[in-house]
Chain A
Amino acid sequence: MAGISFRNVSKRYGNTVAVQNASFDIQPGEFFCFFGPPLSGKSTILKLMLGLETPDEGEVLIDGRPVNHISPGHRNVAMVFQNLALFPHMTAAENVRFPLVERKVPEATIRARVDAVAAKLHIAHLLHKLPAHLSGGERQRVAIARALVRDPVAYLMDDPISALDARLREETRVELKRIQRELGQTLIYVTHDQEEAMSVADRMAILEHGEIRQIGAPVDIYDRPASRYVAQLLGAPMMNIMAAAPSGRPETGEGTILLPAEQMSGNVAGVGIRPEDLKVEPWAEGHAGRPATVYEVEPLGGYTVVTLDTGSQKLRALLRGQPDIRIDSRVALSCNPERVHFFGAAGEALRP
């Protein structure tokens, strides 16, 4: 069990910046998640940790020791690749054994370890098969078993369950979280799925264009995003952002304003409200809320997504259950002022 740290690490491919000045400390035993859109540098960060890439600048530390010049095989880090990278000419058993055989572990130990990990991942009955004869989910578990079979200082996983169907993904994600807790091992996980990132991670780092935008516990980031970009990346449906007028007041269109004016400071460029914080009430004369028309309703069973047209823009609200809201009816919007986010002109979060 070990922590992994980056100190001002940069990596470029030609003119493309893959990782820019990244610094972070992953604690031993932590479930740490890198989250960002495709090509935001997540996979490169893992390759730098593995030693498959060497940083152009900065230092990678494992367990406090610089490892920039240590080869992948000597870093003792295990990896599950995004495309799994099973060895197609070996059976599942040979794949799982491979890391131990390469490290010249005694045969009796190998057998015991393979059996244990196969039992944990429910793949004992598949061990004699070639990867070509396994289903997607089974290959996934074999790949994870190959990583779990030895005793590395940390496990790295690059979007390992993205190819599974939604139901299996939810199951595997719970399973992974549980395995990680039981092992008490450092697990570094990369995903492009915000729900997955939020559900598994103890802490997470949000990436954009190779730069780390925010690091913290998922719920903290969700509640206190550092920027408009981070705010809109987390949460589904996405956070509503309304433009603020030059005066610093939210764009009102016609009708009453949504927020108490005293909250607004001069340099606010955007006002953000999460869909679940938006209150939707039937329109009544004298209501203090902002008027809007119901544009579309998406009943999802447990909750309902309502798209609202305020005249100047569309907002989305997430309501519990199945409220009685008719399309084209007029409603009043309001929200708890404490749940409102303010963003400056550069997208930076402003807090009182």
Chain B
Amino acid sequence: MNRSLPFEIFRYSVITLALAITLIPTLWMASMAFKPIAEWSAAGADLTWWPKNPTLDNFRFIFGTSTSDLIVALDRTAGKPILSSLLSAVFGTLIAMGCGTAAAYGLSRFGSGQNLPLALIQLRLFPPMAVMIPVMIMWAFLGMVDSWWGLALIYGIVTLPFAFWLMKTFFDDMPREIEDAALVEGCSRGRVFLKITLPMMRPALASSALFVFILNWSDYLIALLLTTREWVTIPVYMASLSSSMTGQLYGAKAALGLIAAVPPVIMGIAIQRHLVRGLTFGALKQ
């Protein structure tokens, strides 16, 4: 197509603007994570893009091996929150994906009507605060407050509707004849699911799991209400990174933010191969 020069300039300007809006804050965070206090604090007058004196002090600080120049002692290091986030998000994702996939398959193949699937999404229609206070009381009663497994359980429940709906769409789109073919060739229903359906659903499982994991990983509200001390997660811990002397510890927050961005990115890269490949490509005619 033959586009005019002004149009091309306009097009690239819009793209650049959109990229800037998304990328600059992230780059700013990455750069700040390596700046010494003088360069990120309000006291430091000169703002620069790149750290003038790159340092790992912020990382040492949150892991408790150095107080750097802050003269602030943290009451805990980032190690445990990172572990808490990992455990609760991973197991929450496993619960949501396990139950969601099973429910989605059952309802997609044998369910009738739309009421049950819609009822499942209703869980998400409540304002979270309306649900979380009763949950807090229940969890306290069950002795699951301030534990990674209590958090994992509620993460699994809260993200179950997403896992269910994503997987149901994928199951609905899968041609029934492929399962029928396996049935005719002597497979039982259960075997068809394990040998044919699940392997075919690998890309769907991977993308749904990534989505659910990111939801769990970035939760703040639930963790704030359900953890107090031992098992606070990264977002809750991050909020606590401030002091009366220096205010917000931006450098430390940036360092923690950079670490927090790693697991979703790794997962994303690991399953990228599955995300780009079609679901049933090659199974059918055409």
Which A residues fall within an 8 A CB radius of B?
A: 47, 50-52, 71-75, 77-79, 81-89, 98-99, 102-103, 130-134, 136, 139-140, 146, 162-163
Contact = CB atoms under 8 A, between A and B. Distances in A.
Interface residues of B, number: 24
Interface stretch (B61-69, B118-126, B174-182): B174-182
A103 B191 CA distance: 13
Given A83-B284, A86-B282, A88-B280, A50 B184 contact: yes
A44 to B, nearest CB: 13
Contacts of B186: 73-74, 99, 102-103
Contact of B286 (A51, A71, A102, A136): A136
A89 B284 contact: no
Contacts of B177: 81-83, 85
A98 B185 contact: yes
B283 A52 contact: no
Nearest to B188: A73
B129 interface: no
Given A86-B181, A87-B196, A98-B182, 11 more contacts: A72-B180, A74-B186, A82-B177, A82-B285, A86-B283, A87-B182, A88-B200, A136-B285, A140-B285, A162-B285, A163-B285
Contacts of A102: 182, 185-187, 191
29 contacts: A52-B184, A72-B183, A73-B184, A73-B186, A73-B188, A74-B186, A79-B180, A79-B184, A84-B285, A85-B175, A85-B177, A85-B181, A85-B283, A86-B283, A87-B178, A87-B196, A87-B200, A88-B282, A88-B283, A89-B199, A89-B202, A98-B185, A99-B186, A102-B182, A131-B283, A132-B282, A133-B282, A146-B181, A146-B185
Contacts of A140: 285
A293 B282 CA distance: 52
B177 to A, nearest CB: 4
Nearest to A162: B285
Interface in B182-213: 182-188, 191, 196, 199-200, 202
B285 A83 contact: yes
Nearest to B179: A85
Contacts, number: 91
Contacts of B187: 73, 102
A89 B277 CA distance: 12
Contacts of B283: 83-88, 131
B205 to A, nearest CB: 13
Interface in B126-184: 175, 177-178, 180-184
A217 to B, nearest CB: 29
A163 B286 contact: yes
Contacts of B10: none
A29 B200 CA distance: 36
Given A85-B175, A85-B178, A130 B282 contact: yes
B184 A78 contact: yes
A77 B184 CA distance: 7
A78 B285 CA distance: 19
B281 A139 contact: no
A90 B76 CA distance: 51
Contacts of A75: 184
Given A81-B180, A83-B175, A88 B281 contact: yes
B183 A89 contact: no
A85 B286 contact: no
Nearest to B178: A85
A86 B285 CA distance: 9
A345 to B, nearest CB: 42
A75 B183 CA distance: 11
Nearest to B175: A83
A141 to B, nearest CB: 12
B184 A72 contact: yes
Interface string B89-132: 00000000000000000000000000000000000000000000
Contacts of A77: 184
A79 B191 CA distance: 19
B282 A73 contact: no
A136 B283 CA distance: 10
B200 A89 contact: yes
B5 to A, nearest CB: 42
Given A73-B184, A87-B178, A131 B286 contact: no
A52 B183 contact: yes
Nearest to A164: B285
Nearest to B198: A89
B167 to A, nearest CB: 17
A88 B201 CA distance: 11
A131 B285 CA distance: 10
The interface centre, meaning the residue of B181, B187, B284, B286 with most chain A CB atoms within 10 A of its CB, is B181
Contacts of A81: 177, 180-181
Nearest to B278: A132
Nearest to B185: A99
A71 B177 CA distance: 16
Contacts of B182: 87, 98, 102
Contacts of A83: 175, 177, 283-285
A132 B191 CA distance: 23
Contacts of A82: 177, 285
A1 B202 CA distance: 39
B185 to A, nearest CB: 4
A119 B285 CA distance: 22
Nearest to A160: B285
Contacts of A133: 282
A85 to B, nearest CB: 4
Contacts of B181: 79, 81, 85-87, 146
A163 B286 CA distance: 7
A75 B282 CA distance: 28
Contacts of B196: 87
